[in-house]
Every structure is written in structure tokens, then in C-alpha cells.
Amino acid sequence: MITKLLPLEKITTIRQDGSIWVHHIETEDDCKMAEMVIGHGSNLLIKQAREVYKLSERFNYIKQQGDRLLVGGATPIRQILRYCLANGLTGMEFLTGVPASLGGVVYMNAGAFGDQMGDIVDYIRVFDLKEKASKLVNGIRFSYRNTNIDGIILEAALKLKRKDRGLIKSKMENVIKRRLKSAHIKNTFGSVFKNPQEKPAGWLIERVGLKGFKKNTAMISPKHANYILGLGRARIDDILYLIDMAKERVLKTFGIELSEEVVIL
């Protein structure tokens, strides 16, 4: 296992201020010591954690078995999408522009535009922290931005379909256009809150007057109120201030309690 002190702006997509010790998992045996395993930091804030674990590049790979892809947990989504486009495989386009790794999007059942990871995951290989061993897991329970996965996702088998590469490229371009029009793909960790049943979180936050509200190094997006943008290196206190303010105002105005989608360690 290799350990390095790294700036948080390099391991969180909102480019958080500060630094943290990162233990890079090189082998399955290293997983036995792992706690607080992170991916590419696209849905992450560091509040109290002083050290985290992260799969190394040894878990970054793509292997094709028919129309299924065996993908390592550390593989970046952009890399998988490039492979899918080159090989005419469809099913992942909804994640175009998401700066995440495979393990993270599977664990959180990431989704967009009516699609989600649960629709394309066949099975996973996970390191069970209680049993201290890896195993294949089928029949995963996928729900809204959640799964019942307990352990470190080392690999996932994805069920994809054949499609004309031109059509795949067109769909990816359309997804990027939609993201840029209504949301952000840089200097943010993605959606702050899960959407409650009553109304979308962004709609609620906008209605309580916080769209575009700034607190020093962080700002609620003027484009989509369920996004927080880092202004340079974002300080955790500024980000949490905005999160707490949004929750308080929405609860007071609408009686709706917002639940964070971002993971806070």
C-alpha cells in the first residue's frame, strides 16, 4: 500500500481546500485495512476525516466479454465512455460529463435523464470488510441514489448493447448539452440534495431565495440551485454553511426536510 499526503483539491471535484492522507490500495489484501474508501471525489466532502483509502491504478481496467464489460472499480467514467464509443456499446451515455469512477457510481446508483446504474449492472465483485475476502454479488438492491452494497467495489460487470457509433456519439453530445444548460460539470460535487417526492430540491432552494447566494469561497449555483460551486479552493465551513442554510429555509418555508446526496466524511 502506498500512502501520500495529498491536497483535497486533487481528490474532490469541488476542489476543496486542505489536505489529507490517502492510502492507495494496491492488492486485495490491502483492503483488509481499509476504512473510508473513496472514488474520484465527485460526490464527496471532507469534514472530519484525516485519512482515506482509494483504489490504485491496478483497479483501472476494461475487459470485454461479449456485450458485457468487466470494469475495475477505479476506472474513470470518461475512460469507459471512450471505450464504449470506440466499440459501439450503448447504455452508459447518461453519465457523459460525470467526473467519477465506476465504483462510486455503482455504489451510489448514479443516474440522470431517466437512466441509472442499476439498469446496466449485472453483478459486482466486492471485498467484504467483515469476511475479509472478495466475492461476487448478484441481486443487488438498487434504489434512488442508494444500494445495499456493503464493502469495496473491486469490479463490476456491465450489461450493454450494440449500437451504431454515430448514434452513441450523438447521444453523448446531447447529454453534455443538457448538463451544461441546466447544471455544471466543473468545480462542484454534483447534486447537493436528493430530490424529495414533493418537488425537486433545486426548485425548493430557488423558491426560498438562495439561488446564486455566495458565502466566501462557495456559492449556490445561479444556474441550478441544487448545485454548489467552489470559488477557487472551497473551504468546508463555507460549503456546510450553504448546505445548512438551504435545509433550514426549505424546512421552515415548505415543511420539507432535505436529505444530502453528497457524502460527507
Give the chain as a 3 state SS string.
Answer: CEEEEEEHHHCCCCCECCEEEEEEECCHHHHHHCCCEECCCCCEECCCCCEEEEECHHHCCEEEECCEEEEECCCEHHHHHHHHHHHCEECCHHHCCCCCEHHHHHHCCCEECCEEHHHCEEEEEEEECCCCEEEEECCCCEECCEECCCCEEEEEEEECEECCHHHHHHHHHHHHHHHHHHCCCCCCCCECECCCCCCCHHHHHHHCCCCCCEECCEEECCCCCCEEEECCCECHHHHHHHHHHHHHHHHHHHCCCCCECCEEC
What pLDDT does residue 79 have? 97
88 and 13 in a common domain: no
Count up the domains in the chain and report the number: 3
Reading the chain (265 residues) residue by residue, the pLDDT tens digits are 899 999 999 999 999 999 999 999 999 999 998 988 998 888 999 999 999 999 999 999 999 987 689 999 999 999 999 999 999 999 999 999 988 999 999 999 998 888 999 999 999 999 998 888 999 999 899 998 889 998 999 999 999 999 999 999 999 999 999 888 878 878 999 899 999 999 999 999 999 999 999 999 999 999 999 999 999 999 999 999 999 999 999 999 999 999 999 999 9
135 and 249 in a common domain: no
Known catalytic residues are 145, 191, 261
CATH assignment of the domain containing 11: 3.30.43.10
CATH assignment of the domain containing 256: 3.90.78.10
53 and 132 in a common domain: no
What pLDDT does residue 185 have? 79
What pLDDT does residue 235 have? 97
What pLDDT does residue 200 have? 95
Task: Say what the pTM is.
Answer: 0.87
155 and 105 in a common domain: yes
What pLDDT does residue 204 have? 98
Domain boundaries, position 251: 201-264
What pLDDT does residue 75 have? 97
122 and 64 in a common domain: yes
